[in-house]
Homo-oligomer: A and B are copies of this chain.
Amino acid sequence: MGEFELIARLRERLEVDPAARPAAAARVLTASGDDAAVTLPAGATATSVDLAIEGVHFTRETAPLDAIGHKAMAAALSDLAAMGAAPGEAYVQVGVPAGLAEGEVIELADGVAAVARDHGVTVAGGDISGSPVLVVAMTVVGHAPDETALVRRSGAREGDAIVVTGELGAAAAGLLLLESPRLRQAVVPDTAEALIERQLRPTPRVAAGAALAGAGAEALIDLSDGLVADAGHVARASGVGIELDAERLPIAPGVAEVAAAAGVDPVRLAAGGGEDYELLAALAEESVGAATRALEALGLRLRSIGRVVSGTSAILRGARGDGIEVEGFDHFREQAAPRSDRAEPA
């Protein structure tokens, strides 16, 4: 099958019925099939790109193809959630290795399409090419009425509370389970499956991002590199310090057991593991209550885990107030070291 036949097949899988989504159809005038997609954005747009490369971000040994597509789209949309933007369009570039069958490429596209559908995203364009390894390069565009509705990383102020959505450490524990199946006996099968699912098919917190923006979040970021690393990005962008309280981290069920079986500290999985795709926000203390109720309405817990102080970096403090060093995700260091190392101390 040549390039153009495969593109036609993929287009069918990724297309949306315009009748089902009239607002998106009005904005996307020409999707794939021309030199460029033509859209009519209104207000402010937030654009993010996200690269997933075989052997670095995933392996085909542990991730099914639909999960590779799912996660690439989810990770990209997580960046829009972290702006409080409403997802709009996606552009998907895929490098396909020779060994990958047509059906497998379509399975990957189905994973992309499932997440796009869940979040009202139009796949408006893409590119496909042969490649020595599987590559998925995602571009997503989100929308907001105006730029003041979008939340940067740079607005955290001394005295703000640091809050986090959902639960931490599940994706890192899921990765340990995928890499060392013997660890599965540490938890009941349902818990193991839930942890693995968080690693393979994360959920971007799109509605939560909008709710936090609406509740007055001063700064917002998604947890992709790891809690401490991502809090560090907010600290540097805002010119403040961030103190996180290790005892208050909402560690996901089963993480402690998997960590114990693997001989690692569960706090390191929760604070350094990354890929949880939860959101971290800086909120004025008086806004925490309303934000918590808004998240509850979405079925998500919001946990206050620290505070903004003077300083220039993020620090995780243990029970006795001592700093705990946690290494975040570095896409270069990753290359040299086995993947599960990223949860290890520096």
Given pairs A34-B154, A95-B135, 5 additional interface contacts (CB within 8 A): A3-B331, A33-B153, A38-B46, A55-B131, A128-B331
A133 to B129, CA, bound (A): 14
Any B CB within 8 A of the CB of A83: yes
Which B-chain residue is minimally distant from A47 (CB atoms)? B37
Tallying the copies of this chain within the complex gives: 2
Per-residue interface assignment for chain A, residues 77 to 115, with 1 indicating a CB less than 8 Å from any chain B CB and 0 otherwise: 001101101000101111110100000000000000000
Any B CB within 8 A of the CB of A50: yes
Contact of A83 among B35, B41, B91, B93 (CB under 8 A): B35
**Is there contact, CB below 8 Å, between B44 and A29?**
yes
Q: How far is the CB of A137 from chain B (nearest CB, A)?
A: 3
Any B CB within 8 A of the CB of A36: yes
Given the interface pairs A129-B57, A330-B3, the reply to whether A47 lies near B135 with Cβ below 8 Å is no
Given the interface pairs A49-B125, A132-B55, A147-B29, the reply to whether A153 lies near B35 with Cβ below 8 Å is yes
Which B-chain residue is minimally distant from A230 (CB atoms)? B35
Any B CB within 8 A of the CB of A2: yes
**Is there contact, CB below 8 Å, between B130 and A132?**
no
Which B-chain residue is minimally distant from A334 (CB atoms)? B130
Q: How far is the CB of A244 from chain B (nearest CB, A)?
A: 19
Given the interface pairs A39-B44, A40-B44, A46-B38, the reply to whether A56 lies near B150 with Cβ below 8 Å is no
Report which residue of A37, A49, A57, A336 has the largest number of chain B beta carbons within 10 angstroms of its beta carbon: A49
Q: How far is the CB of A295 from chain B (nearest CB, A)?
A: 19
Report which residue of A39, A45, A50, A222 has the largest number of chain B beta carbons within 10 angstroms of its beta carbon: A45
26 contacts between A and B (CB under 8 A): A1-B332, A3-B332, A3-B333, A35-B46, A35-B83, A36-B47, A36-B48, A37-B46, A38-B46, A38-B83, A47-B91, A47-B139, A47-B141, A49-B127, A49-B137, A50-B93, A51-B129, A53-B129, A53-B135, A56-B129, A93-B137, A127-B137, A129-B331, A130-B332, A130-B334, A135-B137
